Structure 1
Amino acid sequence: MTDDLIGILELEALEINRFRGRSTDPGWQRVFGGQVIGQALVAASRTVEAARRVHSLHAYFLRPGDPEQSILYEVERIRDGGSFSTRRVLGRQSGEPIFAMSASFHAEEPGIEHQMPMPDVAPPEALPDEAALLAAIEERAPAAALRFWRSPRAIEVRPVDPEAFLGRTGAHRSQASWIRFRMPMPDDPVIASAVLAYASDLTLLDTTLIAAARWVFDKGLMVTSLDHAMWFHRPTRFDDWLLYVCDSPSAGGARGFNRGSLFDREGRLVASVAQEGLVRLARQAEK
């Protein structure tokens, strides 16, 4: 799947402002949200001059995507100013919109520099690898999740606190994981940003469940992303480890709000993320 992730981000150009993307099926009933974010970002980026890099995106998941169907992306060129460009992207399947995103692009220029510090955590080499995590979830995870974890995957995840990651501890509203793309990144900065956007949808919504000592695969839960926002602060290569620090400031009304910060090994804050998701308990899910 590592090669395939790059493949699904290389969209087919149908005509001006229209692109088509295919899906991979990791065993889920719907398209992974990070895939749609990444593909929509590539579609928008292909209509912007190369000197302007994405600095922010804001997206809504409107309907579940069918992994058996291709997705049509339509780009609207909202504005090209002196240093900023704005694009709007609509993803469709069977004529129905499933995803909407606005993205802004900026030509790099000098300015004030500061950032929040990276937390002091164990390095990825000192943490259990995914084989150890798989052994820990084999008795709890449904068959579809096990197929996903056992198959070769593009993004490797090493939680700093595996017990919290697996929903075995409560009273925490945050988690951190080291993540990386398993293969060397291509030189194309558009694809590099899209892979990072893809990965930003991993572990984020799960953070809502940690304080309740729940896991995303527990029975009686309906969990899905509603929206997603991301800000790209500094360029980075994702073929080395990044620390993804997530917290959940609020949960209520069957929704959970989560924030994420991505740091490279040198401690640079390279991107920030925010997302709200639907988190329904069993009785609500039946309605």
Structure 2
Amino acid sequence: MNAGYTPGLAGEPESSMDRMLDIFDVRPDPVVPARYLGDSDGGSRRVVDGSQILGQSIVAATKALPGRTVRTAHALFVSAADPDIPLDFTVTPIKTGRSFAGAAVTVRQELKVRTSCTVLLDNPQPDLIRRDEPAGLPVAGPDEAVPADNLPLPGREVRIVGSADINDPDEVGPPVVDAWLRYDEIPGRDDLHRAVLAHFTGHLAISTALRPHPGLGTAQAHHTLSTAPMGIAVSFHDPVKWDGWLRYHHEATFVGAGTAHIRGQISTESGRLIASFTQDAMIRSFERGPVTDMPSEARL
């Protein structure tokens, strides 16, 4: 299912990129050390995007281990999170050495585990050698890409190469999707840079996996298709800085047995590779039709 945001439900704050930055910036618990508290934005859906929780986990680990930079983060989404219930992030150091540190971030709601994230941190080093060539080149630039109106979020612009509606079951193409993103404002802090980059890794992977298959698309999610990201891994390639457009390159390398594996890269418009990611997703049909007790706001 695509993670597009729509205006909040009645009584809820309006979805925007500014609000997402506030959500990523989890707050320290005033009583319990290495515990952080966070909110969510489900938009019109009664579910929290896993990639939002991944971004928050990155910020929580950075705050718990100051002076370190998150190099990799691997999140396993074991249970769906409710956007109306606060999130609790507990950071447990695994090993803290002179060069590298590892930590486990356990994310709970009312004592129930929702996500488990393993984070590797280090201190950035000067290049001994460097090669950062993005995959899938050449590709049409943002001026030639199609605005993705089904992924609205004020403060962020998304354009997709060669696709008028990436959710459409009748739009068939190769298992590759390139998306261009641009933010009105880029956060100043490094940990928020990484949270922002991680956030969009969950948006188009399942659409990429479904794209070659006629009659299947993410518009059917929660109707005839049961889809969800089960795990996302992201690796950051310093320096994680950009100005202007970002390119998210997605490639589904396997689809079968009710699952899909998608790999991707994030690069700047100038062609500098700044992060890589993978997603493992569930793609299954409803055996007895769609879930009937799901709130109507959660159905796309």
Aligned residue for 2:233, secondary structure, equals strand
Structure 1 vs Structure 2: percent identity of aligned residues? 24
Residues 1:45 and 2:49 aligned together? no
> Contact 1:11 / 1:21 at 8 angstroms: preserved in 2?
yes
The 3 A distance-change label for structure 1 pair 96 and 174 is same
Residue equivalent to 1:2: 17
Q: Which amino acid aligns with 2:138?
A: D
Q: What is the match of residue 274 of structure 2?
A: 270
**Corresponding residue for 1:64?**
80
Q: Determine if contact 1:247/1:258 at 8 Å carries over to the other structure.
A: yes
Change (3 A) 1:105 1:164: same
> d(CA) in 1 for partners of 2:209 and 2:147?
24
Question: Which residue identity lines up with residue 35 of structure 1 in the other structure?
Answer: Q
Question: How big is each residue's C-alpha offset from its partner over 1:122-143, in whole Å with a ceiling of 9 and x where there is no partner?
Answer: 221232334xx45xxxxxxxxx
Could you tell me which of 214, 221, 227 is aligned with 1:223?
Answer: 227
Aligned partners of 1:239, 1:200: CA distance in 2, in Å? 19
Aligned to 1:111: 128
Contact 2:51 2:232 in 1 (8 A): no
> How far did 1:154 drift?
4.5
Q: Which of 35, 38, 41 is the aligned partner of 2:52?
A: 35
Mapped to 2, the partners of 1:266 and 1:190 lie a distance apart of: 22
Tell me, what secondary structure is at the counterpart of 2:51?
A: helix
- Asked if structure 2 preserves the Cα contact closer than 8 Å seen for 1:164 and 1:170, the reply is no
TM-score normalised by L of structure 2: 0.83
Please state if 1:79 is matched with 2:83.
no
Structure 2 stretches lacking a partner, 5+ long? 1-15, 292-300
Question: What is the correspondence of 1:1-287 to structure 2 with a 5 Å cutoff?
Answer: 1-14=16-29, 15-50=32-67, 52-109=68-125, 110-118=127-135, 119-130=137-148, 133-134=149-150, 149=151, 152-163=153-164, 165-167=166-168, 168-180=170-182, 182-213=183-214, 214-218=216-220, 219-237=223-241, 240-283=244-287
After superposition, give the CA deviation of every residue in 1:11-62 in whole Å (9 maximum; x if it has no partner). Answer: 1210310000011131112101111001111111101232x31111111001
Residue by residue, what CA displacement relative to the aligned partner does 1:233-253 show, whole Å, maximum 9, x if unpaired? Answer: 122335521111101111111
Post-superposition CA distance 1:162-199 (Å, at most 9, x none): 1472443335111111122x222222101111111112
Q: Distance in 2 between matches of 1:284 and 1:83?
A: 52
- 1:209 is matched by which residue type in structure 2? L
Quick check: which one's helix share is greater? 1
Cα deviation, 1:101-146, whole Å, max 9, x if unaligned, reads 001012122322113345112221232334xx45xxxxxxxxxxxx
Q: Distance in 2 between matches of 1:285 and 1:60?
A: 26
The whole-number CA distance in structure 2 between the counterparts of 1:228 and 1:155 is 22
Contact 2:146-2:162 within 8 A present in 1 as well: no
Q: Is the 8 A contact 1:196 1:238 kept in 2?
A: no
What count of residue pairs does the alignment treat as equivalent?
Answer: 268
User: Quick one: structure 1 residues 284 and 173, their matched pair in 2 at CA, closer, same or farther if it must change by over 3 Å?
Assistant: farther
Aligned mates of 1:238, 1:26 — CA distance in 2: 27
Q: CA RMSD in A?
A: 2.0
Q: Tell whether the 8 Å contact from 2:71 to 2:122 is kept in structure 1 after alignment.
A: yes
Counterpart secondary structure, 2:187: coil
Q: SS in structure 2 opposite 1:263?
A: strand
Letter in 1 for 2:253: P
Q: Which runs of 5+ in 1 are unaligned?
A: 135-148
Once residues 4 and 239 of structure 1 are traced to their aligned partners in structure 2, the CA distance between those partners, rounded to angstroms, is: 21
